[in-house]
Chain A
Amino acid sequence: MGLLSFKGGIHPPHSKEYTEDKPVVIAAEPAMVHIPLRQHIGAPASSLVKVGDVVKVGQKIGEAGGFVSVPIHSSVSGIVKAVKNHAILGGSTLTISIENDMENEVHESVQPKGKLDDLSGKEIVEIIKEAGIVGMGGAGFPTHVKLSPPADKKIDVVILNGAECEPYLTNDYRLMLENPSDIIFGLEAVMKVFNLKEGYIGIEDNKPEAIKVMKEAAKGNPGIKIVGLRTKYPQGAEKQLIAAVTGREVPSGGLPMEAGAVVNNVSTAAAIATAINTGMPLIDRICTVTGKGIKEPKNIKIKVGTMISEIVEQCGGYEENIGKLIMGGPMMGIATHTDQFPSTKTTSGILVFTEEEARIPEESQCIKCGKCVETCPSFLQPSYISAYALINNLEMAEKYNALDCIECGTCSFVCPSKRPLLESIRLAKREILAQRRKTK
């Protein structure tokens, strides 16, 4: 199969050389973990433990707060020291703080769930839900919800996202190289949920090693196709990936299931495999700690709830002149002013920029070059949406389809006038949605 892709997009520098050749290392046991009860999109979980309780690894400590929510599990064994508000990325939320007894005693509920052949689709979805698995590539949408579409939506394509189009990040890449069999197993589990014989894994062609290793690992199952994708940002955006692999466009305003597709990250698939094979819920993940501001960039496996500052310390600490700390990659990651908060199930990257790299370029007038229009993967006209957003003309911003923006940041990246395109569009989107809620 030739290289597939989508229309639009950009070629930012990969910057993966810091960590791509570094095998995943296991982080030192944290003395203390702070596990937030809200780690992703959806309702927060409610605490099942109180101060003084003894908990074990994999024990459920937070109950899902609804359908679009997942339970939370302890990543260590030890004693609950606090159940109170704690800082998280961009705010604070109810958090369970556990002192690690360093025994790593596994909870008795953690038991292998049996062979895939013996499990029904429903049982698999239930295992995934109980294991607290969420999308590990981005926003952390609860995976079992993706796998439970309404009866009238027929899913006929399942895709694993191994594109990893975000510059700097190499956690998915290393996982594909080091643990391809779990990814394949996870994909087979998802295929089983929908009773499908075929599944796809999309990988950008700047990762030939990963393509090779995954092809090798998929040999036993002729239904699994490893798809080489053209290296282009945002190749890993859900809708763009579906378009590249299937040629189908998810309808404007719709979810992937409306194009008959379900997309999961390769890391999510591996977590599904772990949950089925060992019964261990999602309590750790691989994180790429990288950038010029980090002394020893690494791919490191961290337990959920480890403080960001501790993770950075294990990577040699910060360089002298750091200017920006980003959770995730440089295109869609979130900048934060502090490292005093815990990691979650979605902490895919910790990227540190130097002062020089953090400098925000001076913006100038739009010269109408059209680069944002040419590259927008949603086929929008970002310069116009932004212009209307900046004069607070939400009606026109909406007319120009502001709500179809996927916030990939391509427009801001290419803009020669360094205009804050995405920033203003994001603002318009929020305002439009807020107004809609008000009028409803």
Chain B
Amino acid sequence: MEKMLRVSSSPHIRSKDTVSSIMRDVVIALLPATLAGIYFFGINAAIIIALSVGTAVVTEAGIQTLRKKKVTINDWSAVITGLLLAMNLPASAPWWIPVIGAIFAIAIVKQAFGGIGSNFMNPALAARVFLVTSWPIEMTTWVAPGADAVSTATPLGMIKEGSTAQLPSLMDAFIGNVGGSLGETSAVLLILGGLYLLYRGVISYRIPTFYIGTVLVMTFILGGFNIYDSVYSIFVGGLMLGAIYMATDYSSSPITAKGQIVFAVGAGLLTTIIRFYGGYPEGVQFSIILMNIATPIIERYTAPRVFGGAKK
């Protein structure tokens, strides 16, 4: 046996999952809701998505090249950030909004903190909050679904202003035929993608179910024990998109099972409180960002009990 043999530490086999296979699954899961966004909001939605994804990928490659690091745009993570950002923007936003947002998300929130796995906030969400606070008019001018781009209020906006007479039906909210960010409206397709991610083992059920469940229960309590209203509340706004795709961001959510539940319940409480008592009609983005910041401390207090260790 003259051959050179490889010697390495066990284990000698590895699973088929890779970072890019996982990230690609997330893109696949987001596709139905993305296409629905283009269907509901027309060509401008497609342009925003293209600009956002394109800018995110170019920014990632550019920064990694500048820093003489390995360019990792093949791992699809920049694509996801760009796509999620676009899905959080109004279809009527001017072209520079997704461009600035994507640069901020990748350059400041992701790469400045060390790239994939090291960002402490969800890059797309942080960018969205940055855009809302910097350009509030552009970021809150909503259009109704349809080719003629009539401006409208979101269902949550209507609830906040008390103009509940024009509220779209529960069915319209469920399939996404309402005003809102271009990728957040179709609850049914977002759930479908979420089920795919669960099936593929990319996310666990914990964050989405506890987050959405908390909003459901809290809206029921704070809203005067109205079942219809509380069910309605989980299908509108950014909750589905946020709970399934943004709060589950690996690097900005807890790694421990218990921590994920604490994180999700916290986000649910904050979301409902902002929706009911805050200045903004929607609280999903701020809630997730706040819980992102709390993640390290949640992890510290929710470390799993070691096998054979004292039961707590």
Contacts and interface: CB of A to CB of B under 8 A. Distances in A.
B8 interface: yes
B6 A335 contact: yes
Interface in A228-266: 239, 243, 249-254
Interface in B7-23: 7-15, 17-19, 21-22
B250 A369 contact: yes
A353 B5 CA distance: 10
B67 interface: no
B13 A381 contact: no
Interface stretch (A173-181, A275-283, A414-422): A414-422
Interface string A314-342: 00001000111110001111111111000
B55 to A, nearest CB: 22
A150 interface: no
Interface in B290-312: 303-309
Interface string A5-17: 0000010110000
A370 B255 contact: yes
Interface string B260-304: 000000000000000000000000000000000000000000011
A140 B194 CA distance: 47
A367 B255 contact: no
A252 B13 contact: no
Contact of A381 (B21, B72, B256, B307): B256
B116 interface: yes
Nearest to A408: B11
Nearest to A427: B9
Contacts of B68: none
A323 B306 CA distance: 37
Most chain A CB atoms below 10 A, which of B17, B21, B204, B306: B306
B44 to A, nearest CB: 33
A395 B241 CA distance: 40
Interface in A29-86: none
B306 to A, nearest CB: 5
A365 interface: yes
Interface residues of B, number: 39
A198 interface: no
A364 B72 contact: yes
Contacts, number: 161
Contacts of A412: 10-11, 14
A373 B204 CA distance: 12
B11 A339 contact: no
A324 B19 contact: no
A13 B11 CA distance: 13
Interface string B111-144: 0001111100000000000000000000000000
A318 B308 contact: no
A25 interface: no
A401 B306 CA distance: 7
B255 A339 contact: no
Most chain B CB atoms below 10 A, which of A10, A250, A309, A369: A369
B13 to A, nearest CB: 4
B165 interface: no
B11 A379 contact: no
Contacts of B12: 324, 326, 330-331, 333, 335, 351, 353, 358
A209 interface: no
A324 B15 CA distance: 18
Contacts of A426: 9
Interface string A337-364: 1110000000000010100011111001
Given A323-B5, A330-B11, A381-B256, A365 B115 contact: yes
Given A370-B255, A413-B15, A420 B9 contact: yes
B64 to A, nearest CB: 12
A12 B15 contact: yes
Interface in A128-181: 167
Contacts of A324: 5-8, 12
4 cross-chain pairs, A with B, having the tightest CB-CB distances, nearest first: A409-B11, A423-B9, A252-B308, A370-B255
Given A374-B257, A380-B304, A384-B255, 11 more contacts: A12-B15, A252-B306, A322-B3, A323-B6, A335-B10, A401-B306, A409-B10, A409-B11, A416-B15, A418-B18, A423-B8
